[in-house]
Every structure is written in C-alpha cells, then in structure tokens.
C-alpha cells in the first residue's frame, strides 16, 4: 500500500493579515481557525494518515497553506518559488521537513514563480495553472525537472480564482471536478470533467481508496460524490476559506516511498 503521510503547518497568529485576491476580506476568528485546523489534521489521522508539522512560521500569515511550498512527484520534492513576495520565506522550513523524509530536492529559480496550489497531478499528467502566482518560466522549470520521472506537464490558464486547485481537483478515478463559472477552460479535461454546484465542491483531498476529504461548505457537491459511490469526509474550514484557502492547500501529501 502507498504510504500515507502528510506535512501540515500550524496557523499563524497573524492569519487574518494574509493575502486575499479574488474575494472580499473579512474578519478571521483565529482561535476558531486553530480548532478547525486541528480538526482537519484529526480527519487525516482518522483516515489512517500520519502527519509531520513543518516548523511554525508565525511571521508568515499564510504559512498554514503549506501545499503552496512545494510539488512532490515520486521521490522528488520541487521547492516552490511563491508568486507572492510575502510568502517566499515559507519554503525554508518546508524544504527541511521534506528532506528529513528522504526526498530529493530541486528548486524553482528566478525568474520562475510557482505555487504548489497551481499543480494538479493525476496518473502521470501534471496540469499547472498559469495565473496570478505561477508564471511560464516556473512551468518550464517544472517540466524539465519532472520529465526524467516520466511526467507530462500541461500548462492551463487560471484567471478566475487564486490557484488551479482553487478551480479544479481530481476524484480517485481521474474525473476532474470544478465549479463551471470559475473554470477557465474545462475542455482541457474534455470527457473527464464534472461540474459541481458549489465553489468549494471543486476541492477534494484523496485520502485513499474511495475516500475523499472536502469542506463542509459544499453539501450538494458532497451528495453528488456520494451518489457516485465515494465515501466523503467533511471538515468545517470556514475561517481558512475567508483567507482563500481550501482543504487541498492545508497539507502536502507524501504518497510515495522516497529513495
Ligand atoms: N493552494 C491554495 O489554494 N492556497 C491558498 C492560499 C491562500 C493565501 N491567502 C494566499 O493568498 O496565498
């Protein structure tokens, strides 16, 4: 069985000062955010995952969104170069954590930028969103780094939401799910795209087998997935959603056995 281990990172006490781009800023209850983050980590544990906490970075309000710090493929961790200046320093401790798990490490270098949240992987294909955070140079570097591992990197546009995985993620069978008004070009996944009725219904974390984790804010999408035979676990992440976060960006899933 594949390993099930995830990197997570505690929310900063300054979470409410994080970036918001496509939504209105609203007041974050940091204590509640903490409890919601704990419940998210508990949900991973309940599904059989173990976790490592990346060293906290209280000076980085967005550090809890640890997925953005890297792209893990096979035994290689590609350390991101976040598109937002305020997030650049988040990668240092994340790199240390993934190295400690035995992964080889490469880095996106200037002028490239790339956020992990812009990278959707399924079965040897790697779609990378070019938009507010990830640029063409970042995509080309990722293509070069992943080519020896057999991955096919496909660039896709992202203009309506923060990251590619704010728009689409993939179900266990490879069906790509997205809320149509927020997906730039669903034809990229022609024949494999499923529209969902809620924005956060587009965000699923694959927990193994037919189990997916998603936000409690998408009950109609959850019902749709249950009708397709999936086991759906939900968590309330309302305070993290206020900062444009979603279930995917709260962890880096390490599914392979490196080395
Ligand atoms: N992968 C993700 O969707 N990450 C969410 C990052 C939210 C954070 N406030 C940001 O703007 O960078």
**Predicted complex: ipTM over 0.90:** yes
The confidence score (pLDDT) of residue 75 equals: 94
The reply to whether ligand 1 has any atom less than 6 angstroms from the CB of 244 is yes
Asked if residue 163 is part of any domain, the answer here is yes
Cα–Cα distance for residue pair 27/75, rounded to 1 Å: 40
Q: Is 190 exposed, middle or buried (0-12, 13-18, 19+ CB in 10 A)?
A: exposed
The reply to whether ligand 1 has any atom less than 6 angstroms from the CB of 90 is no
Asked if residue 189 is part of any domain, the answer here is yes
Asked if residue 16 is part of any domain, the answer here is yes
Asked if residue 68 is part of any domain, the answer here is yes
Structure tokens at 74: 């096979």
Structure tokens at 184: 């730039």
The confidence score (pLDDT) of residue 3 equals: 81
Asked if residue 233 is part of any domain, the answer here is yes
Among candidates 235, 239, 259, 256, which has minimal Cα distance to 247? 235
Structure tokens at 136: 């063409």
**Which of 7, 67, 117 gets mutated to test ligand 1 (max ligand atoms within 8 A of its CB)?**
117
Signed CA dihedral, 150, 156, 162, 164: sign only: negative
Phi, psi of 145 (to 5 degrees): -70, -30
Model pLDDT for residues 85-144, shown as the tens digit of each residue: 999 999 999 999 999 999 999 999 999 999 999 999 999 999 999 998 999 999 999 999
The confidence score (pLDDT) of residue 176 equals: 98
Q: Is the pLDDT of residue 16 over 80?
A: yes
Which domain, by its residues, includes 201?
5-254
Q: Is the pLDDT of residue 188 over 50?
A: yes
Q: What angle do CA 100, 102, 107 make, to 5 degrees?
A: 85
The residues with which 7 forms a beta bridge, in sequence order, are 52, 252
Structure tokens at 140: 């080309």
Query: Could you tell me the pLDDT band of residue 258, with boundaries at 50, 70 and 90?
Result: low
Q: Is the pLDDT of residue 25 over 60?
A: yes
Q: What angle do CA 138, 161, 247 make, to 5 degrees?
A: 90
Among candidates 243, 194, 186, 241, which has minimal Cα distance to 217? 241
Distance 120 CA to ligand 1 centre (A): 15
Distance 114 CA to ligand 1 centre (A): 12
Cα–Cα distance for residue pair 242/244, rounded to 1 Å: 5
Asked whether the beta carbons of 133 and 117 are under 8 A apart, the reply is yes
The stretch 61-65 carries a mean pLDDT of: 98
The reply to whether ligand 1 has any atom less than 6 angstroms from the CB of 47 is no
CA distance to 49, 83, 92, 200, 235, per residue, from 42 (Å): 9, 30, 25, 20, 10
Q: Is the pLDDT of residue 152 over 70?
A: yes
- Closest residue CA from atom 1 of ligand 1: 117
Asked if residue 259 is part of any domain, the answer here is no
Q: Is the pLDDT of residue 6 over 70?
A: yes
Domain count along the chain? 1
Ligand 1 atom with the smallest distance to the CA of 243 is: 9
Query: Could you tell me the pLDDT band of residue 257, with boundaries at 50, 70 and 90?
Result: low
Structure tokens at 107: 């880095």
pTM: 0.97
- Regarding predicted confidence, which is higher, 257 or 198? 198
Model pLDDT for residues 210-237, shown as the tens digit of each residue: 999 999 999 999 999 999 999 999 999 9
Q: CATH number of the domain that 213 lies in?
A: 3.75.10.10
The stretch 166-178 carries a mean pLDDT of: 98
Distance 1 CA to ligand 1 centre (A): 31
Cis peptide before 111 (omega within 30 of 0): yes
The confidence score (pLDDT) of residue 50 equals: 97
Asked whether the beta carbons of 79 and 95 are under 8 A apart, the reply is yes
Q: Is the pLDDT of residue 205 over 60?
A: yes
The stretch 194-214 carries a mean pLDDT of: 98
Mean pLDDT of the chain: 96
Ligand 1 atom with the smallest distance to the CA of 163 is: 3
Among candidates 52, 142, 58, 51, which has minimal Cα distance to 96? 52
């Amino acid at each position: 069985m594949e390993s099930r281990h995830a990197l997570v990172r505690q929310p900063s006490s300054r979470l409410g000062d994080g970036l918001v781009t496509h939504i209105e800023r609203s007041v974050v209850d940091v204590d509640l955010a903490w409890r919601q983050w704990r419940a998210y980590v508990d949900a991973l544990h309940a599904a059989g995952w173990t976790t490592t906490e990346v060293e906290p970075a209280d000076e980085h309000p967005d550090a809890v969104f640890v997925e953005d710090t890297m792209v893990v493929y096979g035994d290689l961790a590609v350390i991101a170069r976040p598109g937002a200046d305020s997030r650049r320093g988040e990668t240092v401790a994340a790199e240390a954590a993934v190295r400690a798990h035995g992964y080889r490490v490469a880095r996106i270098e200037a002028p490239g930028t790339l956020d992990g949240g812009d990278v959707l992987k399924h079965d040897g294909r790697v779609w990378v969103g070019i938009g507010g955070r990830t640029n063409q140079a970042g995509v080309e570097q990722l293509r070069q780094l992943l080519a020896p591992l057999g991955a096919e990197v496909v660039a896709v546009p992202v203009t309506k939401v923060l990251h590619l995985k704010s728009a689409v993620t993939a179900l266990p069978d490879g069906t790509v799910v997205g809320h149509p008004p927020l997906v730039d070009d669903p034809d990229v996944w022609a024949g494999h795209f499923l529209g969902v009725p809620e924005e956060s219904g587009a965000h699923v974390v694959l927990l193994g087998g037919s189990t997916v984790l998603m936000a409690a804010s998408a009950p109609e999408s959850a019902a749709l997935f249950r009708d397709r035979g999936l086991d759906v676990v939900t968590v309330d992440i309302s305070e993290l959603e206020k900062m444009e976060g979603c279930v995917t960006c709260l962890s880096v899933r390490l599914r392979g056995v490196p080395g």
